[in-house]
Amino acid sequence: MPEAARSHLETALHFCVQDLPGATIPCASLQKILETLRQAKPVTRLSLEFLKKHGLAALHSFAIGELSYERFRQLALAEQSLRIEAAMAASQARETADRERAAAMQAKADLFFKRREAERLARESDPRYIAKVRNRELRARYGIHDFVEPDRFGHLMAILNSVDAGRRICAEDYAWLVKGGAAYFSKELKAAYHRLEAKFFRTEYERTRDPWMAINASSQLRKCGKAQEADALLSTVETKLLKSCKLRSAFATTWGGVKRDLERREEALRLGERAHALTPDDFRPCTLLGAIHMENGDHDVGRDWYRKAVERGATVDDVDQDLRRIYFRADPERQAALRAFLLADDPVRYAWAGKAARSAIRGAITESANEQ
């Protein structure tokens, strides 16, 4: 690096503005101001206005003698951090906008050619067109709107047809959806899967009166948003059938989860505590209690229960996913309180909470601007 360029960079670093291009470009306004300050010469009024105009508040205050260099450096580094973060956010926004424009253009092109093909097939009265339309409608019914890879299309459609006919997804097909076909395991298809599983276990419970079947059915009902049905089902289980501690604990944990879904948290807490007393080494009651306390705003207590859950076998990732779900379901006031707690507890692990808040603020600003 030439000596002059090195000198400009050192000056920019000294005044914490090396992130600004004008700080190191010879004869640029900012570079000349920095050189004046480095030589301890008076800064002109126009230069001071330049610093104000470009948001260099700390450098302006230093230039007029309001700040010592040590205090200036503290403030300047903070300003620099905000500039860098804003620049990164702007860059990401531009990239996102470019991707969205490209995706939108691609989607329009795909739609155009699909419509042309459909019209051609319709004109020819080709039976394949009818099958194609039926398949498209079936995919739409289960929330699969993206392109399906040809080598996976047959397998996927067989699963959709089976589900649409009310048949359970077999273990092999479920494993395929979780792994190889994960892109097609949509929210709607998952809900249908859980409904069919709940129906199966409920039928088994009605046939055998086995409490485990009721527990399994209730777990599946919760996953497809049918907590009220799960609550009614569990209320039919006879207590005398709950013979082992493990079974009583699983029953209490499951019912506690149902009560939590129904926002009957006091009942959920009692059931969770009962389950923990029955099986103190099981992480599931601890996870339930952690979630309820977090939702109640008892964050310290909730964290302690989650730690107990991890000590007993729960994964940190499962706990974090649980906290994400709690956070995004909460109202703005509870979100703010939980966010403050999480970021104070571990700002790196829970950085997503801060990012979510900033994203929400940007969305609100955009929405307000659009309304105007």
Please, which pLDDT band fits residue 133 given cuts at 50, 70 and 90?
confident
- Residue 317's pLDDT is what? 95
pLDDT, average across residues 321-346: 94
pLDDT, average across residues 137-160: 91
Q: Determine the residue type at 149.
A: E
Which domains does the chain show, CATH number per domain?
Answer: 3-101 (no CATH), 186-241 (no CATH), 252-372 (1.25.40.10)
Q: For residue range 57-85, list pLDDT tens digits in order.
A: 889 998 898 999 999 899 989 888 888 88
- Residue 366's pLDDT is what? 54
Cα separation, 187 vs 81, whole angstroms: 39
- 115 pLDDT higher than 90: no
- Residue 9's pLDDT is what? 87
Q: For residue range 26-68, list pLDDT tens digits in order.
A: 888 999 998 888 998 888 999 999 998 988 988 999 889 899 9
Indicate the range of 82-91, 261-270, 278-287, 318-327 predicted with least confidence.
82-91
Of 200, 326, 198, nearest in space to 261 by CA: 326
Cα separation, 349 vs 305, whole angstroms: 18
pLDDT, average across residues 304-325: 96
- Residue 369's pLDDT is what? 45
Q: Residue 250 burial by CB count (10 A; 0-12/13-18/19+): exposed, middle or buried?
A: buried
- 365 pLDDT higher than 80: no
Q: Give the chain's radius of gyration (CA, Å).
A: 30
Cα separation, 287 vs 320, whole angstroms: 11
- Residue 22's pLDDT is what? 87
Say if CB 144 and CB 166 are below 8 A apart: no
Please, which pLDDT band fits residue 121 given cuts at 50, 70 and 90?
low
Tell me what the pLDDT averaged over the chain comes to.
90
Please, which pLDDT band fits residue 327 given cuts at 50, 70 and 90?
very high
Give pTM, 2 decimals: 0.61
pLDDT, average across residues 101-121: 84
Say if CB 30 and CB 17 are below 8 A apart: yes
Q: Residue 278 burial by CB count (10 A; 0-12/13-18/19+): exposed, middle or buried?
A: buried
Please, which pLDDT band fits residue 118 given cuts at 50, 70 and 90?
confident
